[in-house]
Amino acid sequence: MSIRLLRQALNPDSLTPMWRRPPMKDRYEVVIIGGGINGLGMAYYLAKDHGITDVAVLEKRYIGSGGSGRNTTIVRANYLTPEGVRFYDESLKLYENLTEEFDFNIMLSQRGHLTLAHTDASLRTMRWRAEVNQLQGVNSTVIYPDEIQKLVPHMDLSDRPRFPVMGALYHPPGGIVRHDAVVWGYAHGADKRGVHLHQMTEVTGIDVEDNKVVAVQTTRGRIKTGTVVNATAGWSTVIADMVGVKLPIRTHPLQAVVTEPLKPFLDTVVVSGTLHFYLSQSDRGELVMGAGINPYTSYSLDGTLSFIEGLAAHVLELFPSLAKVRLMRQWAGLCDMTPDYSPILGNTPVEGFLVNVGWGTYGFKAGPVAARRVAEFIATNHMPEVIAPFAYDRFYTGKLVGEKGAAAVGH
Amino acid sequence: MFLIDCPNIGPRNASEFRFRGEFVERPPNPEDPASDDAWTDFLYMRENKLGVQKEWWYHRPSGTWFIAERHTKTHEIVRTYLWEDRDE
């Protein structure tokens, strides 16, 4: 093993790329716009589960450069609605097998996930979520400060904070994963089965005839196709605009920070809706922290000082010992927010133009199930039950799937 | 942090304001059941433009609601005005 490493170090040409750079054809059966977890995942499952390999994934920059490379890596299934819980649980179960399936370590660490409750109303909601979770076979319970303290010795559970912790929703199967590895695993798996990945390829237009998609225009040429899937998250409406499809999406930046590496002291994911933060300690010892979306719509990826100020103040409420810790890096990604904080999957009014969007601030944990089930829909033209509630027409029929409380902390 | 020119007060720090969403015209007759789709579009569908967007803002200290035309990537604010002073 070490001989091989030495040989490869001395001769870089002997390294096998994880994905090829094939020439772009002028026609594909399926064109997926967006090279993140959903775009690559759909290509992977189309090839692996359905033998559909005449697929192109078009990514305007490098794969995983959007939300898939910018999230804070948390995975969990502890949602509020029965349909939400079923959906996210299927995803978590897929995550549990991905390292084996990819033969590539995605570093899944199911270390436990705590959603703190600071008020009676919040505790009531946690109990509600626990009950719904348990009915769906998902492990979540309500625990109180004495048990929380054992899991997180450094958290201030006294009466000193402005809103003391009263309890928490404890979800043992929740945890973190190496987000880039998941993207690369899907890319490698799709590529080795014949899918074409085209990076640095931007879509500039989509040709529609008689309300049906016939081709995609890109910065590298025109591709004839009858099936286009929009998996561009924060840029969803820019793409949908090319075919005249309206979307109930507003793009908001979501920022995140990492601290300098610290010795391991936190081995649970901690989330507080009241204090608008989520945090975990990575395998490199860095604290990975996030909060709410920027309050105005924007396509800017800049960090802001007000974000750091707000996040630091809230985290220090519960972890005062972190006051001297230095922040190392700050970044942002674009989130496609929907009115009910649930995704939009499947057909649109334009034939052949599908969407896998509306992932907001809660998309990475759902990548596997969304990719697999939308791929199933594309291949079989039969809408799988687990994703049927997330159809585009729910906004017209009024059947929204309200998951704001369980999906986000920015409220 | 950028500055927003409140039509009542003048340029103030963005932290004094609350973003209140893309400007959308109300459907002409919400009572008419034939306009259900128009009502859904008004409630949910958005242009979400990458470019200069017309949007509502609220200045908290003065209670002023107004419209801003802001570029959604550079955050440059082209102009701000009260609803009654809008172009028809």
State which of A337, A360, A384 marks the end of a domain: A337
The set of residues, in sequence order, having a beta carbon less than 8 Å from that of A238 and lying 6+ positions away, is A232, B50
Same domain, A255 and A403: no
Domain with A143 in it: 110-172+250-337
pLDDT higher than 70, residue B1:
no
Residue A260: inside a domain: yes
Residue A13 DSSP SS3: helix
B55–A contact, CB cutoff 8 A: yes
Residue-wise pLDDT for A362-388, tens only, equals: 999 999 999 999 999 999 999 999 999
Same domain, A163 and A278: yes
Q: What is the DSSP letter of B35?
A: G
Same domain, A127 and A155: yes
Number of Cβ within 10 Å of residue A404's Cβ equals 18
The C-alpha atoms of residue A211 and residue A208 are separated, in whole angstroms, by 6
Q: What ipTM was estimated for this complex? A: 0.94
Same domain, A283 and A243: no
Distance of CA A222 to the CA centre of its chain: 30
Q: Tell which residue, A325, A278, A370, has the closest CA to residue A88.
A: A370
Residue A103: inside a domain: no
Q: Measured between CA atoms, how close is B34 to chain A, in angstroms?
A: 13
Structure tokens at A5: 């490493």
State which of A318, A337, A356 marks the end of a domain: A337
Residues in chain B within 8 Å Cβ distance of A246? 41, 45-46
The C-alpha atoms of residue A227 and residue A52 are separated, in whole angstroms, by 12
Tokens 């804070």 label which residue?
A72
B33–A contact, CB cutoff 8 A: no
Same domain, A198 and A230: yes
Residue A273: inside a domain: yes
pLDDT, residue A295, reads 94
Residues in chain B within 8 Å Cβ distance of A236? 48
| Sheet-wide strand order for A221-224 | A203-209, A212-218, A221-224
Total number of domains in chain A: 2
Specify which residues A55 forms β-bridges with.
Answer: A30
Same domain, A197 and A318: no
Supply the CATH number for residue A164's domain.
Answer: 3.30.9.10
Using CA atoms, how far residue A65 sits from A54, A170, B50, in Å, is 24, 32, 19
Q: Does the distance separating the beta carbons of B43 and A298 come in below 8 Å?
A: no
The C-alpha atoms of residue B22 and residue A24 are separated, in whole angstroms, by 38
Single-letter amino acid code for the residue at A335:
C
Residues in chain A within 8 Å Cβ distance of B55? 296-297
Same domain, A160 and A293: yes
Same domain, A332 and A395: no
pLDDT, residue B32, reads 76
**Strand boundaries in A77-166, DSSP class E:** 113-117, 141-143
pLDDT, residue A11, reads 87
The C-alpha atoms of residue A224 and residue B51 are separated, in whole angstroms, by 29
In this structure, are residues B75 and A304 in contact, taking their beta carbons and an 8 Å threshold? no
Percentage with pLDDT > 90 across chain B: 73
Same domain, A354 and A332: no
Same domain, A242 and A254: no
Mean pLDDT, all residues of chain A: 96
pLDDT, residue B68, reads 96
Same domain, A49 and A33: yes
pLDDT, residue A410, reads 66
Q: What is the mean pLDDT of residues B70-77?
A: 95
Q: Does the distance separating the beta carbons of B48 and A247 come in below 8 Å?
A: yes
Same domain, A254 and A403: no
Q: Which of A248, A299, A396 sits opposite B73 (nearest CB)?
A: A299
Number of Cβ within 10 Å of residue A382's Cβ equals 8
In chain B the domains, ranked by start, together with CATH numbers, are 3-85 (3.30.2270.10)
The ranges of chain A with pLDDT < 70 are 1, 410-411
Structure tokens at A371: 């990719």
Q: Does the distance separating the beta carbons of A298 and B73 come in below 8 Å?
A: yes
Supply the CATH number for residue A232's domain.
Answer: 3.50.50.60
- Give the number of C-alpha atoms closer than 13 A to the C-alpha of residue A15, restricted to the C-beta side: 10
